[in-house]
Chain A
Amino acid sequence: MSAINIIVDGRTLAVEENATVAVALLDAREYAFRTSVSGEARGPLCGMGVCYECRVTIDGVPHRRACLVVVAAGMRIETAAARA
């Protein structure tokens, strides 16, 4: 297993390559992926692209489903925590 660096809310994290963004964030104890319309913190539910609860901003593109995107070296991720 080799590790690559990604940037989560400005912080550099070493994560396993081939992991999904959802898994990289959960393993780094980042649980608040998005903020719901009434202000609750939300994270992955279905793990398979159905629920849209895992949405984060990836390389500037908002609303990407973190459970469907595989990490890449240098990838920049913004979670709800950054926007709070």
Chain B
Amino acid sequence: MTHTLRECDVLVVGAGPAGMSAAARAAESGARAIVADEGVAPGGQIWRPALRSSSPVVAQRWAARLAGSGAVVLRSTSIVELRRGANDGWLALAESNDGGFQIAARSIVLATGARERFLPFPGWTLPNVVGIGGAQALLKSGMSVRGRRVVIAGTGPLIFPVAASLARAGAMLVVVAEQAPRHKVLRFAAGLWRSPALLARAAAYRAAFLRTPYATGTWVVAAHGEPAVQSVTITDGASTRAIECDLLCAAFGLVPNVELARLAGCDVAEGRVIVDARQATSMAGLYCAGEPTGIGGVDLSLAEGEIAGLAAAGRQADAALLGRASALRRHAAAIDEAFALRAEVKALAKPDTIVCRCEDVRMRELDPRWSARQAKLYTRAGMGACQGRICGSALECVMGWPADSVRPPTQPVRVSTFLQDIQSAQSLPHGAH
């Protein structure tokens, strides 16, 4: 195994909208920038390379800007650990298809995005019960839904683009159930007049699935079927109905990916990385942008990425950019308030419902007096392959257990990467410069 070390001024972790704008701005400011993403190409969750539709203009613009900036893009490369390096810098442990290597950087921008929040309900483990963003991701990687009966049940603005994509792809979208109550959704929609671009976008999405009812104050109760989902029961609290379907998309908003930030020692509160106006975290030389600082949508991710990329390269963002970010943050706060989870959706699991899908731990095995750590020790909940990324955020909602602390590495790594890490820890205790 060869010992490899790459060096740069700014390492950006994640090449979604936030990471792309961060890397581009840092490189344009003269910094030697590297941006690493575990995906096959830059774009993140929203602009991931689509098989059947072309990318929007903004996506193409940022892709071109990144390509022209001089930043080095590392594809299919996961950053699995961060530690302090020499001269107040940072050392990242990376893993690619060819094995592990290290990257020494003066500063780092964490732009690791978000994942969906799944909540357990009877039948949620059946095949063909997928996430809402999950359905979008599968569609973009080529899944065919023509003529298939689809139900969406969940919450938040992400429902809109996904319902539109499903309808455009020829799915028979039977119903869209939004758990937030009607008055909150209406108040949120009324507030959109302040951002005409967002209003136009929402209207265009709705037009694409206009024939499907958008039922507010309605949520999933159970999914049924054998060997895969065949029907779903939804309720508005007063009446319940069963709907036949071939695909159920059920998820409850997004959860920031804060594992790497936690591992590096950054302050995290309410599941978000704490940053200042320059996107600086509590750790010197570590910046954070996009969804890990709070779910705000693509425009906020882009703006925060720009600010962080400039700051990491020692530059100051101008007032217009800072102002744009704070306006978008107000919009994000309105989303949080409108689509807050109702108590009923946190209490859908029955005693025999599986809550940890990797280890098949059932609801009745958990004791409400425990912590997430105790649940791990006594039942293995959160010990499986996903390392608690699915059940951890579910149990946070269902049991009120804050996420357990993170231990390196943050995802299952290959033996070779691990060995390299151990070797270098012996030979280069403070990184390499």
> Which residues of A pack against B, CB within 8 Å?
16, 18-20, 22-23, 26-27, 31-33, 36-38, 40-53, 55, 63, 67, 70
For the A-B complex with A32-B127, A37-B358, A45-B131 known, give 20 more contacts whose Cβ atoms are closer than 8 Å. Answer: A18-B51, A18-B142, A19-B141, A22-B138, A27-B144, A31-B127, A31-B228, A37-B359, A38-B354, A40-B360, A45-B118, A45-B357, A46-B115, A46-B133, A47-B137, A48-B45, A50-B390, A51-B389, A51-B390, A67-B138
**Minimum distance in angstroms from A66 CB to a CB of chain B:** 10
The listed residue with most B CB atoms (<10 A of its CB), out of A27, A44, A67, is A44
A-B CB proximity, top 3 nearest: A47-B137, A43-B127, A31-B127
A-B contacts, 6 of them at CB < 8 A, read A20-B142, A31-B128, A36-B357, A36-B360, A45-B130, A50-B115
Note all chain B residues with C-beta closer than 8 A to A55: 385
Q: For chain B, what secondary structure do more than half of its interface residues adopt (helix, strand, loop), or is it mixed?
A: loop
Note all chain A residues with C-beta closer than 8 A to B144: 27
CB-based A-B contact count at 8 angstroms: 105
Q: How far is the CA of A49 from the CA of B134 in the complex (A)?
A: 10
Q: Contacts A47-B136, A48-B137 known; A42 to B115 CB distance under 8 Å?
A: no
Q: How far is the CA of A31 from the CA of B390 in the complex (A)?
A: 20
Q: Contacts A36-B125, A40-B360, A46-B116 known; A26 to B138 CB distance under 8 Å?
A: yes
The listed residue with most A CB atoms (<10 A of its CB), out of B38, B116, B142, B390, is B142
**Minimum distance in angstroms from B15 CB to a CB of chain A:** 14
Note all chain B residues with C-beta closer than 8 A to A32: 127, 227
Residue of B nearest to A69 (CB): B40
Q: How far is the CA of A33 from the CA of B126 in the complex (A)?
A: 11
Q: Is the CB of A45 within 8 A of B133?
A: no
Q: Counting CB contacts under 8 A, is B384 at the interface?
A: yes
Q: How far is the CA of A32 from the CA of B6 in the complex (A)?
A: 42
Query: CB < 8 Å: which of A19, A52, A53 contacts B51?
Result: A19
Q: Is the CB of B360 within 8 A of A26?
A: no
Residue of A nearest to B141 (CB): A20
Q: Is the CB of A47 within 8 A of B135?
A: yes
Q: Counting CB contacts under 8 A, is B64 at the interface?
A: no
**Minimum distance in angstroms from A38 CB to a CB of chain B:** 4
B residues 56-103 with Cβ under 8 Å of A? none
Query: CB < 8 Å: which of B134, B142, B354, B384 contacts A46?
Result: B134
Q: Contacts A32-B127, A52-B385 known; A43 to B138 CB distance under 8 Å?
A: no
Q: Counting CB contacts under 8 A, is B386 at the interface?
A: yes
What are the interface flags for B355-369 relative to A under an 8 Å C-beta threshold, 1 for contact and 0 otherwise?
001111000000000
